[in-house]
Structure 1
Amino acid sequence: MEHRHRDEQHSWPPRWLRWGPPALVVATMVLDQLTPPRYPLGPLLAASVVLSLFTYPPLGVLAVGAAGCLLLTITEMIEDYVGPLTIVSLIVLATVTLLSVWLCVVRQQSESRFRRIQAVAETVQLALLRPLPERFGQLRLSGFYRAADDEALIGGDLYSVRPTPFGLRVIVGDVKGKGISATQTVATVISTFQEAALLHPLLSQVAERIDVALQLDRDNPPMDPTERDRPISRPGRPPAPTDELFATAVLLEFSADARAVRVLDRGHQPLLIIREGNASVVESDHSLPLGMGDLLTEPPRTMTRTLHRGDILIAYSDGITEARDSAGTFYPLRERLQSHCASSPGPVEPTGLVAFLEEDVARWAPTLSDDLVAIVFQLTPAGDD
């Protein structure tokens, strides 16, 4: 499973900026020699020290400031123009240097703290959305996940794959909302699914456990970490529409030989199946999202579908089908998959299909407003056991 994250290939600071402070010092000295003495250029040296604050460590900032003081003194002595203005320039430059060194120390401490917090956050996020196994029994698996926020590894979409005594169980979903509250709901859904999938023989029972967990979060909201001791919604009162917690999801259970899959659809996007190069929708019983189980008049039905050798099953979020191009046209998922299968020179495999889908959606909608997730399963073709 590949998580799309912020671009880390562009290092900071840029190379041109690293050479900026020394170049500014040299340019200042050259200009000082070319201009009359009545035009002092000492303040430009202070600018080079401030610039080095963002590019160098404290010793580097100190070295730039010391070099500026030394060069200023030497040039003024050569010109025999050491006067009150020169003394004032040296005092200002030395003061700016000391302040810049102190600010550089503070900057490094803040960056170090940010990196530690970032590492912890990424570890927690990856613990929720664990990498997919490439293969499980007769099934091949592949997928990709891309958060709409470039600074996050996960957003409001979710997935989890769990081997159980009842077969391989999977959930793919999309929680309501965005930001911290959505991440908390994702954590509730995934952790409850991972436990319930091992204990309950029926998918409907697993869904009921998630329903209860979301209802508990709704009635006893967690604290908002951005504002201490302040709950996301007030306990003791009915939740407003903005306080409702729910998640659309599809739950899957593959049999031991992967020849059959049981599908429980809780308000999610319909599954797609590619069979002999043709992409079609998997019919299922559409029901209310997870977290709204108390509104159901009857238990949702679990549908069983038979898989043939080479069949490819695709579970995805609405971030893919709602991706828009510059003209506002939604991404036609089934048609694009159909076209890809027709133009493929060889058999379509999960890894290649995922790579195509990820690149094709990115070309269709360069700017995304929603998270993306797609999981592809294939019952191994004949002769590939």
Structure 2
Amino acid sequence: MVLDELTPSRYFFGSLLAASVVLSLFTYPPVGVLAIGAAGCVLLVVTEGLEDYIGPMTIVALTVLATVTVLSASLCVVRRRTESRFRRVQAVAEAVQLALLRPLPTRIGSLRLAGFYRAADDEALIGGDLYSVRPTPFGIRAIVGDVKGKGISATQTVATVISSFQEAALLHPSLSQVAERIDVALQLDRDNPPMEPMGDGRPAYMPGDTPGPADEVFATAVLLEFSEDACAVRILDRGHQPLLAVQHGTASVVETDHSLPLGMGDLLPTPPRTVTHTLAPGDILIAYSDGVTEARDGAGTFYPLRERLQGHCAGRAWPISPTGLVTFLEEDVARWAPTLGDDLVAIAFQPAAPSDED
């Protein structure tokens, strides 16, 4: 309208009012869009009436503005419905994450712990990595692992591993029996893949997922069982990344009996051996996924986990808390590799000193 007032009458800018209506659909509800369109029509008529120039161009502009207003209000309705659906889907995804990957407590009995989890896809809350920690009649048991695949197919395998672990950890006295129970669950998934479509006709796998062949349902994992004072930990390694122990500023690899991943137990000639490792109060045991050690910087160099931990812990006051160590690790990996190619999980365990209080 200002342009109409400042330019000769042969120039007509009333049609630009349609742009304000289109822009309003991104911020206002449908009623607001209709109100802005109606106000534009009134303003156009009043302005042209004051200039005594209501002609064919004005009629065309009013028609265009009214049409754009109706279409924008319709698009606004679609936008709000889509946003509402997205919020519901996001709420469901968050509920699923909390059900599968529950937040870690800072302490369970004599064991202090902390961890972080990042999915490679920024839009996803859950990836192919997993963890679970829970007290049992046989001690505090934990699992940290990485399943085969990505997307929905990986989430299904994560759910199988975690649910089987949480049940078996309470019932079976040995870690080998817990692993055998997970083996059976994964073999059932392998022999009975979810190939049927969903109830509304959509496929079980969404575009972009990588379910892989049915015979590739497996997960690398390390199973841990801490004693009552958390100073001894029994370790069952099923093809996972080596554990690291941080003791008085020194980071070292924990020797374990490396075996086949979970889901391949039927290929093992003998049950894998469980190894016992001793921890002093203040020592930290770190379990992590290969997403940490395979994070790359701009030059393509892998993240040197043990060396970075060694450099961080050397010369610092001891003991270092699990929370402080995990916070450093999460921030350091993010600085090293701003873009992730795989999911990340890292959990730090530390036996509490006898003098510590909850």
2:116 corresponds to which of 140, 144, 148: 144
Determine the C-alpha separation between the residues in 2 that align with 1:109 and 1:275.
55
Alignment partner, residue 181 of structure 2: 209
Q: How does 1:31-180 map to 2 (within 5 A)?
A: 31-180=3-152
1:284 corresponds to which of 256, 262, 269: 256
Alignment partner, residue 238 of structure 2: 266
Superposed CA offset, 1:247-275 (max 9, x none): 00000000112121000000000100011
Alignment partner, residue 208 of structure 2: none
- Residue 140 of structure 2: SS of its match in structure 1? strand
Aligned residues: 351
CA shift at 1:241, angstroms? 4.7
CA shift at 1:381, angstroms? 3.0
Determine the C-alpha separation between the residues in 2 that align with 1:245 and 1:271.
24
CA shift at 1:71, angstroms? 1.4
Determine the C-alpha separation between the residues in 2 that align with 1:349 and 1:114.
39
Alignment partner, residue 329 of structure 1: 301
With normalisation by structure 1, the TM-score equals 0.87
Determine the C-alpha separation between the residues in 2 that align with 1:203 and 1:228.
41
Determine the C-alpha separation between the residues in 2 that align with 1:240 and 1:73.
64
Alignment partner, residue 225 of structure 2: 253
- Tell whether the 8 Å contact from 2:93 to 2:125 is kept in structure 1 after alignment: no
Alignment partner, residue 23 of structure 1: none
- Residue 229 of structure 2: SS of its match in structure 1? coil
CA shift at 1:37, angstroms? 2.6
CA shift at 1:344, angstroms? 2.7
CA shift at 1:346, angstroms? 5.1
Over 3 Å counting, the alpha-carbon distance change for 1:229 and 1:154 in structure 2 is closer
Deviates more, 1:68-77 or 1:168-177: 68-77
Determine the C-alpha separation between the residues in 1 that align with 2:55 and 2:153.
64
1:381 corresponds to which of 330, 353, 358: 353
Tell me the amino acid that sits aligned with residue 271 of structure 1.
Answer: L
Q: How does 1:185-264 map to 2 (within 5 A)?
A: 185-223=157-195, 228=201, 241=213, 243-264=215-236
- Tell whether the 8 Å contact from 2:231 to 2:351 is kept in structure 1 after alignment: yes
With normalisation by structure 2, the TM-score equals 0.94
Determine the C-alpha separation between the residues in 1 that align with 2:204 and 2:191.
11
Structure 1 unpaired stretches of 5+: 1-28, 233-238
Structure 2 unpaired stretches of 5+: 206-210
Deviates more, 1:350-359 or 1:221-230: 221-230
Tell me the amino acid that sits aligned with residue 241 of structure 2.
Answer: Q
Determine the C-alpha separation between the residues in 2 that align with 1:108 and 1:208.
49
Determine the C-alpha separation between the residues in 2 that align with 1:346 and 1:90.
76
2:310 aligned with 1:338: yes
CA shift at 1:371, angstroms? 0.6
Superposed CA offset, 1:20-44 (max 9, x none): xxxxxxxxx1112222333322221
Determine the C-alpha separation between the residues in 1 that align with 2:232 and 2:317.
28
Superposed CA offset, 1:276-326 (max 9, x none): 111100000000000111111111001111111111000000000000111
Superposed CA offset, 1:190-228 (max 9, x none): 000000111100101110111111111111012476784
Tell me the amino acid that sits aligned with residue 359 of structure 1.
Answer: E
Deviates more, 1:276-285 or 1:335-344: 335-344
1:298 corresponds to which of 242, 251, 270: 270
Deviates more, 1:57-66 or 1:371-380: 57-66
CA shift at 1:84, angstroms? 1.7
Over 3 Å counting, the alpha-carbon distance change for 1:249 and 1:128 in structure 2 is same
- Tell whether the 8 Å contact from 2:260 to 2:268 is kept in structure 1 after alignment: yes
Determine the C-alpha separation between the residues in 2 that align with 1:277 and 1:327.
29
2:291 corresponds to which of 312, 319, 323: 319
- Tell whether the 8 Å contact from 1:157 to 1:372 is kept in structure 2 after alignment: yes
- Residue 314 of structure 2: SS of its match in structure 1? helix
RMSD of aligned Cα (Å): 1.8
Over 3 Å counting, the alpha-carbon distance change for 1:95 and 1:241 in structure 2 is closer
Tell me the amino acid that sits aligned with residue 81 of structure 2.
Answer: Q
Tell me the amino acid that sits aligned with residue 333 of structure 1.
Answer: L
Determine the C-alpha separation between the residues in 2 that align with 1:268 and 1:252.
12
Over 3 Å counting, the alpha-carbon distance change for 1:102 and 1:241 in structure 2 is closer
